[in-house]
Chains A and B, each alone.
Chain A
Amino acid sequence: GENVEQHPSTLSVQEGDSAVIKCTYSDSASNYFPWYKQELGKRPQLIIDIRSNVGEKKDQRIAVTLNKTAKHFSLHITETQPEDSAVYFCAASTRNNFNKFYFGSGTKLNVKP
């Protein structure tokens, strides 16, 4: 089955700096890659996603890039703010697997004011 690896496990940045979280996947059939943000004690929230027919997607301060050849995708957060502090999870799924998502192990982002 699919294996998703996520790095780094923890990331500390100064407010206003950029943060980058990287994920790799193993199954070339994976074609959907969402990112979730989970604040302490809360549910994971979908913040951005990308499908395999697109190389990059942006939504205000966050962006995701996908390199299908290398089988990796990344989350970029610019102008970080303290409220961006949370655990971020990447995931991958294939169309034929009916919403079976494989998650990365998570990155704890700490934005220092």
Chain B
Amino acid sequence: KAGVTQTPRYLIKTRGQQVTLSCSPISGHRSVSWYQQTPGQGLQFLFEYFSETQRNKGNFPGRFSGRQFSNSRSEMNVSTLELGDSALYLCASSPGQEALYYEQYFGPGTRLTVT
């Protein structure tokens, strides 16, 4: 099976702009989680989607939003970008089913730089 893919891999944006990142999970996986990784804060949970519904969210401002499509692909949007949003954004795919509930597999990430 193909692994988790994320596009684009690199992005440079200006403060105040908005950005949309995309994640395609492993085939058959229905859960997609998003994380922000920075040197100072480590890996922080943004939100998780399962069957097009947001099931859980972390402590990020409303500028960070997401959605999931019927094919399980997910997008994450950040509006009104700030310098502090510069980070590696990782998505993780999981079956989301009872028997293999927990195992998450990460994509390569999108490196976002805000100038």
Contact = CB atoms under 8 A, between A and B. Distances in A.
B15 interface: no
Interface of A: 32, 34, 36, 42-46, 49, 51, 89, 91, 93, 95, 97-106
A53 B105 CA distance: 22
B107 A46 contact: no
A43 B33 contact: no
A93 B44 CA distance: 13
A100 B103 contact: no
B110 to A, nearest CB: 11
Contact of B55 (A44, A98, A104): A98
Nearest to B103: A46
A42 to B, nearest CB: 7
A43 to B, nearest CB: 4
Interface residues of B, number: 26
A101 B33 contact: yes
A102 B48 contact: no
B60 interface: no
B102 interface: yes
B72 interface: no
A34 B109 CA distance: 19
Given A32-B102, A51-B102, A99-B48, 18 more contacts: A32-B101, A43-B109, A44-B106, A45-B106, A46-B105, A49-B102, A98-B48, A98-B55, A99-B94, A99-B102, A100-B33, A101-B33, A101-B35, A101-B104, A103-B43, A103-B44, A104-B42, A106-B43
